[in-house]
């Protein structure tokens, strides 16, 4: 009888392992489907062609090279705490002469039956229809502000710098 109990406990461990693997695979699939959906919502919201959006693994960062394949939902990276992340790069130059990108990292995690996600620590969104619409509006605002404020940020650099970026100091003793 002791052997049967040991066999049953071993079987229970094997079954628990199989169940865990199955649940992890389902979670991974759900996350990748979410990434695919979010990409489509971003394209639709911005009226952006698919050729202007790239995805990348956050740990490697975005490196643009016309010879490499475009990233996809498989580039999603998973953390030990159940979070997942994917990088997005949007080519914001309407001309094809030069590549200019707005990049962001989308971090998300399933909480109960919804996926909670954000691009910064300012605001969280959920994968409901209203949540995704709100996210796309927020993304546009953040990107627009970031891209619009580049000159302003440059001009506000501190005077204490010996050589302000882009300018050569001229000595008054000439």
Amino acid 126: pLDDT: 95
Better-predicted residue by pLDDT, 158 or 142: 142
Separation between Cα atoms, residue 4 and residue 24, nearest integer Å? 30
Amino acid 161: pLDDT: 53
Better-predicted residue by pLDDT, 43 or 150: 43
Separation between Cα atoms, residue 7 and residue 9, nearest integer Å? 5
CB 109 within 8 A of CB 116: yes
Question: What are the residue boundaries of the structural domains of the chain, listed by start?
Answer: 2-154
Amino acid 157: pLDDT: 65
Report the predicted TM-score, pTM, of the whole model to 2 decimal places: 0.74
**Tens-place pLDDT, residues 97-146:** 566 788 899 999 998 889 999 998 889 999 998 999 999 999 999 998 88
Residue positions counted in the chain? 174
One-character DSSP codes across 106-124:
EEEEEETTEEEEESSSS--
Amino acid 70: pLDDT: 62
What pairs with residue 54 in β-bridges?
Answer: 89
Start-to-end CA span in the chain (Å):
102
**Tens-place pLDDT, residues 42-62:** 999 999 998 888 888 888 877
**Tens-place pLDDT, residues 4-20:** 555 688 899 999 999 99
Of the segments 36-45, 48-57, 85-94, which one has the largest average pLDDT value? Answer: 36-45
């Amino acid at each position: 009888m002791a052997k049967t109990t040991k066999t049953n406990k071993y079987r229970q461990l094997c079954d628990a392992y199989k169940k865990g693997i199955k649940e992890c695979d389902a979670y991974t699939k759900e996350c990748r489907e979410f990434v695919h959906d979010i990409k489509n919502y971003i394209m639709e919201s911005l009226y952006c062609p698919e050729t202007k959006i790239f995805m990348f693994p956050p740990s490697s960062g975005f490196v643009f090279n016309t010879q490499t394949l475009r990233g996809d939902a498989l580039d999603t990276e998973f953390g030990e705490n159940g979070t997942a992340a994917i990088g997005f790069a949007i080519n914001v130059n309407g001309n094809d002469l030069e590549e200019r990108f707005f990049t962001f990292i989308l971090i998300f995690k399933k909480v109960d039956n919804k996926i909670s996600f954000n691009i910064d620590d300012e605001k969280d969104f959920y994968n409901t229809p209203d949540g995704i619409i709100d996210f796309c509006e927020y993304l546009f605002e953040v990107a627009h502000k970031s891209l619009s404020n580049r000159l302003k940020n440059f001009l506000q650099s501190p005077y204490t710098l010996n050589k302000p970026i882009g300018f050569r100091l001229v000595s008054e003793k000439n």
